Structure 1
């Protein structure tokens, strides 16, 4: 497990099993001087090692909440602690340090077409200076092998199926042993079998690494992988 930087040492009094702790969180979009509230009084805790699925209709705020937890944007109202550090009104340095300990998996796998599978995975390790180039390459190969792509290491994305591309994305998200994995509709573009394979691989590898997984999905076929299911509707947890 990668050691947290000094910016991410836990706060006094925080339960060490708590990865995300949200209290009374509101979020507002600002557009052309118009303010619109999209999240209302969110209270949620994610514990170490658990798999949680978040459901809800389109436009309910699921992706917004995911990006706030992932330190990809900031909120100004309420409390949002990730790894024990307050991200509401956080400065950019803290957001960057937080992101280094989070793995992201999206519906659009976001692979770079000019890089091989191994290079796409290895690129995510460039944020972690503790790994040499040789170590990063070896760990990338090992992770691709773990997701069943040991024979596709030097393939480019255009030569991979949709399910294989998503496996590369999983390998990229997990290769640096993050404490938290956030997945936004990871099976939406996949057929039933490929989607099932993807979430089971994600679940297995993350469990082995002891990290927490939050999956945003409309896919009822994968609900049984979760230990807990939460639902967001009109910006409210219900």
Structure 2
């Protein structure tokens, strides 16, 4: 039986602006990513990597082409359908996007609140366990203002992983981390991929983590290079 891809993209184009200011930023993107696969996307700043990531995550409306996640077509999907799909995706952004008025464990807990099947009484234990895995158990009750940039990013990574997502999208996850912390984080992501078959798409400029990839793809001026799509 042929395995169905978790992400399937066909002839995807995307534009910014309107009228005379309309500019194409993604050109005829075709890509498939399968369960348990770690794919790293590289390329210059401004080449379209983050735009593609947000489209896959259902954070930006599709304009042209087909984009399926978990077998569901995002083009024309209702708000309710998009919310259901996003519940099963873990996001790690360039900016940590933590809520400043919540502690580290409370920030992590916000990801669990999206899942009705996870009992509320398990929230604290799960948040504490994932914070321990990223080495921040001693900072669980700290607010973001009292954390370093690297620690904030680790909290954001813990938030993305705590609900055991079916897909992980990571935009420069190690950018704010030193080499040891960065290695710890990617190994945690690798463990998630191996143990639960969770595919991971990572946008990065960090050459130190390329060894975890099953495949490396490259974006140039809004296009995936031919070598990028080869398996």
What is the aligned partner in structure 2 of residue 199 from structure 1? 186
Q: TM-score, normalised by structure 2?
A: 0.90
Q: Is the 8 A contact 1:174 1:206 kept in 2?
A: no
Q: Is the 8 A contact 1:116 1:156 kept in 2?
A: yes
| Structure 1 position 171 matched with structure 2 position 155 | no
What is the aligned partner in structure 2 of residue 180 from structure 1? 167
What is the aligned partner in structure 2 of residue 215 from structure 1? 202
Q: Is the 8 A contact 2:134 2:184 kept in 1?
A: no
CA drift of 1:149 comes to: 2.2
CA drift of 1:211 comes to: 0.8
Q: Number of matched residues? A: 225
Residue segments in structure 1 that go unaligned for 5+ positions in a row: 1-12
What is the aligned partner in structure 2 of residue 61 from structure 1? 48
Residue segments in structure 2 that go unaligned for 5+ positions in a row: 226-231
Two-structure CA RMSD over aligned residues (Å): 1.8
Instruction: Return structure 1 stretches of 4+ with deviation > 4 angstroms.
Output: none
Q: TM-score, normalised by structure 1?
A: 0.88
Moved more, 177-186 or 144-153: 144-153
Query: Alignment partner of 2:195: what SS?
Result: helix
CA drift of 1:86 comes to: 0.5
What is the aligned partner in structure 1 of residue 60 from structure 2? 73
What is the aligned partner in structure 2 of residue 91 from structure 1? 78
- Per-residue CA deviation, residues 95-126 of structure 1 (Å, 9 max, x unaligned), is 11111110000121111222111101001111
